[in-house]
Amino acid sequence: EPEVTQTPSHQVTQMGQEVILRCVPISNHLYFYWYRQILGQKVEFLVSFYNNEISEKSEIFDDQFSVERPDGSNFTLKIRSTKLEDSAMYFCASSNSSPLHFGNGTRLTVT
Amino acid sequence: AQSVTQLDSQVPVFEEAPVELRCNYSSSVSVYLFWYVQYPNQGLQLLLKYLSGSTLVESINGFEAEFNKSQTSFHLRKPSVHISDTAEYFCAVSVNQGAQKLVFGQGTRLTINP
C-alpha cells in the first residue's frame, strides 16, 4: 500500500537556525497537510495545500513558517528561525478526499 | 470552532478484556468523526470514521464506535483486546467530509497487559 514518507525521522537544530522538513506524499494525492504535536499536547493542524497554494492555515502558522512543493513529489515545511517552542513531532499528510494518510513524523528538537 | 475531549489519557487493561475509550466533542455545526491509531514508532492510521448513515461504525480489527449526537460522543469500544492493540488512539472531528482540517483530542494511550 502506498504511504507518506517523511525525512529525517529526527532532527536536532539550534535556536535561530532554519530547518526544512521533507515529505513525499502519496503520488496521486492532491491535498497536502502539515500537523504538529508538542510533547504531551494535542495534534494540531498547521496548514493545508492544494493546487500549489495554501488553502488554509492555523494561527500557529505565522511568518516563520512556509511550505513548498518544489517538484512533483516533495512537500516541504520550512521554519526560518527556530524557537525552543517549535520542538515537536511534525506530521505530513496527504489525501484526495477522505481519509488523510499520515507519515511517521519528524521529531524536531530545538536546543 | 470545534473541540475534542478524550477523557482518559491512559487506559490499562488485561488481554481479552473489553475496553472503551471515551471521546466527546463540541461543535456548533455538524461534524464528521474519526478515530486514528498510532502504533509505536509509526504514523497516524485511520481506524474508523463516521460520515453519515448508521451511527455504529466498525473497523476491520474488531473495534467499533457509535456516534451519539445527543451526547456529542463517539466512544471507541472493543469487546476483547489483544497485546497488538497497544497504541495511542486519537479521536478527531472535521466539519467537511473530505476531512481537510482535523481537530484532534489529546489522545488515549491504551496499554494491554498479559
The tens digit of pLDDT for each residue in A21-79 reads 999 999 989 999 999 999 888 999 999 999 899 999 999 999 999 999 988 789 999 99
> A100 near B104, Cβ under 8 Å?
no
Cβ distance of B100 and A102 shorter than 8 Å: no
Res A70: pLDDT: 86
Residue B43 to residue A48, Cβ atoms within 8 A: no
Cα distance from A16 to chain B (closest Cα, Å)?
28
**CB of A108 within 8 A of CB of A21?**
yes
Q: Give the pLDDT of residue B60.
A: 84
Separation in Å, CA of A104 to nearest CA in chain B: 4
Write out pLDDT tens, residues B20-72.
999 999 999 888 999 999 998 788 899 999 988 889 999 988 999 999 999 99
- Does residue A52 sit at the B interface (CB-CB below 8 Å)? no
The rounded mean pLDDT for chain B is: 92
User: Does residue A62 sit in helix, strand or coil?
Assistant: coil
